[in-house]
């Protein structure tokens, strides 16, 4: 009987791929994992410790914040700001980037995160998660400027998420495939359980919020209508639909058993081309999906190549099974 491969062992062995590595990144990832263990514990004990419900404040997105949004955001800031690995942090829940305390040396990385993804699900017992993206600070050793965060997704050195679902899982990639770890609460360690997760190029399962159908552009309406016509339609087979309302849960399902996820452009609010945020939702998830052999597009552009213009910029997201994403793109060409 042995522990299995812990996250620490896996990170250490991965670090050996880079002989010149200082170990800073390995320490950063381990510190981030501690915050995901803590957030998971708060989520699972939410009803017992009064952490459910609304905080009564709004965030920069114009959303009413849940108590767990703020608890999770603060948990990451305080698990990371003393480490000396970071030149700054940015989050869905903060208008502007967070400056590292003056007493702490500035590091060479930037951390961007969605501390609690799927907030609408916190009070109804449905899976939620944390999404993170790590960039290099253009100039190590000094405070990051706003502009330093506005790097295209191809510049990410790491992306991942924690899923607080039927178990607490950590899934991440540093560019060598996607690996998943399950928290063993009896020893407090994340153990490697999902090696080299991959997304099949074809699928018969899609994820979209159908209530927005009338707001979509024609190519997406056509694509989804064809799926719903099943064997009577041009696709000649039946499709299944799943929509959790937590991007982390939907993307995790796609990494586990395939599928396509769409939060497309909709005409609901002309100021918002889509609901999902580029820097701390679309980019990290697109990085993972591409590392797992899938594709990620706005419908007309590869998400990872978008030059960000704002910290909280939104983009349409179509990601998952490569052949299905390419079909949606082809419908946008007509
Ligand atoms: P967040 O809770 O971090 O604001 O993100 C919620 C996002 C994403 O997780 C999910 O896929 C999507 O919102 C669900 O949107 P709808 O509620 O419009 O379906
Ligand atoms: Mn989110
Ligand atoms: Mn969130
Ligand atoms: Mn939110």
Which ligand has its closest atom nearest to the C-alpha of 91? Answer: 3
What does each of the 334 residues of the chain score in pLDDT, given as a tens digit?
889 999 999 999 998 888 888 888 999 999 999 999 999 999 999 999 999 999 999 999 999 999 999 999 999 999 999 999 999 999 999 999 999 999 999 999 999 999 999 999 999 999 999 999 999 999 988 999 999 999 999 999 999 999 999 999 999 999 999 999 999 999 999 999 999 999 999 999 999 999 999 999 999 999 999 999 999 999 999 999 999 999 999 999 999 999 999 999 998 888 888 999 999 999 999 999 999 999 999 999 999 999 999 999 999 999 999 999 999 999 999 8
State which H helix or E strand residue 146 sits in. helix 146-149
CATH code at position 190? 3.30.540.10
Q: 3-class DSSP state for residue 196?
A: coil
Q: Are 257 and 190 contained in the same domain?
A: no
Mutate to test the pocket of ligand 1, among 63, 68, 120 (most ligand atoms within 8 A of CB): 120
Q: Are 267 and 151 contained in the same domain?
A: no
CA distances from 107 to 70, 79, 83, 147 (A): 25, 15, 8, 17
Domain-terminating residue out of 195, 211, 234: 195
Instruction: Give residue for tokens 């951390």.
Output: 111
Based on the structure, what is the number of domains in the chain? Answer: 2
Q: Are 150 and 258 contained in the same domain?
A: no
Q: Are 169 and 234 contained in the same domain?
A: no
Instruction: Give residue for tokens 């000649």.
Output: 236
Q: Give the count of beta carbons closer than 10 Å to the beta carbon of residue 184.
A: 16
Tokens of 100: 């590292």
Q: What is the pTM of this model?
A: 0.98
Q: Are 40 and 75 contained in the same domain?
A: yes
Name every protein residue with a CB atom under 6 angstroms from any ligand 1 atom: 63, 92, 114, 117-120, 209, 245-247, 263, 275
- Supply φ then ψ for residue 330, to 5 degrees: -65, -35
Domain-terminating residue out of 147, 171, 195: 195
8 Å CB contact between 262 and 293: no
> What does the pLDDT read at residue 329?
98
Domain range for 281 is: 203-331
State which H helix or E strand residue 65 sits in. strand 64-66
Quote the ligand 1 centre to 117 CA distance (angstroms): 7
Q: Are 177 and 277 contained in the same domain?
A: no
CATH code at position 275? 3.40.190.80
The terminus-to-terminus CA distance of the chain in angstroms comes to 58
Q: Are 207 and 191 contained in the same domain?
A: no
Closest CA to 308 of 264, 278, 270, 263: 278
8 Å CB contact between 298 and 152: no
Instruction: Give the length of the chain.
Output: 334
Domain-terminating residue out of 144, 176, 195: 195
Q: Are 217 and 297 contained in the same domain?
A: yes
Instruction: Give residue for tokens 């060479």.
Output: 108
State which H helix or E strand residue 178 sits in. none
Task: For residues 153 and 174, give the distance between their C-alpha atoms in angstroms, rounded to a whole number.
Answer: 13
Q: Are 159 and 83 contained in the same domain?
A: yes
Q: Are 184 and 207 contained in the same domain?
A: no
DSSP 19: T
Quote the ligand 2 centre to 257 CA distance (angstroms): 22
**What angle in degrees, to the nearest 10, is found between the helix axes of 24-44 and 67-80?**
150
Do the interacting molecules here have an ipTM over 0.85? Answer: yes
Task: For residues 185 and 169, give the distance between their C-alpha atoms in angstroms, rounded to a whole number.
Answer: 11
């Amino acid at each position: 009987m042995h522990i299995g491969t812990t996250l620490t062992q896996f990170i250490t062995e991965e670090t050996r791929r880079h002989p010149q590595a200082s170990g800073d990144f390995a320490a950063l990832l381990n510190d981030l994992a501690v915050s995901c263990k803590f957030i998971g514990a708060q989520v699972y004990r939410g009803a017992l410790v009064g952490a459910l419900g609304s905080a009564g404040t709004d965030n920069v997105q114009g959303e009413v914040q849940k108590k767990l949004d703020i608890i999770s955001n603060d948990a990451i800031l305080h698990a990371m700001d003393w480490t000396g690995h970071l030149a700054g942090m940015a989050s869905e829940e903060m208008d502007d980037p967070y400056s590292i305390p003056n007493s702490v040396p500035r590091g060479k990385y930037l951390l961007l995160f969605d501390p609690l993804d799927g907030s609408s699900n916190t009070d109804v017992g449905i899976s939620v998660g944390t999404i993170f993206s790590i960039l290099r600070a253009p100039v190590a050793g000094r405070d990051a400027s706003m502009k330093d965060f506005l790097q295209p997704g191809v510049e990410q050195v790491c992306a991942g998420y924690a899923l607080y679902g039927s178990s607490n899982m950590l899934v991440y990639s540093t560019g060598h495939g996607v690996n998943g770890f399950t928290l063993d609460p009896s020893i407090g360690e994340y153990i490697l359980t999902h090696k080299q997760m991959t997304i099949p190029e074809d699928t018969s399962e899609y994820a979209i919020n159908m209530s927005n159908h009338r707001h979509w552009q024609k190519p997406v309406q056509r694509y989804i209508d064809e799926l719903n016509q099943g064997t009577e339609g041009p696709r000649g087979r039946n499709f299944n639909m799943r929509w959790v309302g937590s991007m982390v849960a939907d993307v995790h399902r796609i990494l586990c058993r395939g599928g396509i996820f769409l939060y497309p452009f909709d005409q609901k609010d002309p100021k918002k081309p889509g609901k999902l945020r580029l820097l701390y939702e679309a980019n990290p998830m697109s990085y993972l999906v591409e590392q797992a052999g899938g594709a990620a597009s706005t419908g007309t552009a590869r998400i990872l190549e978008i030059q960000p213009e704002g910290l909280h910029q939104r983009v349409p997201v179509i990601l998952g099974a490569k052949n299905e994403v390419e079909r949606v793109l082809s419908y946008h060409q007509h």
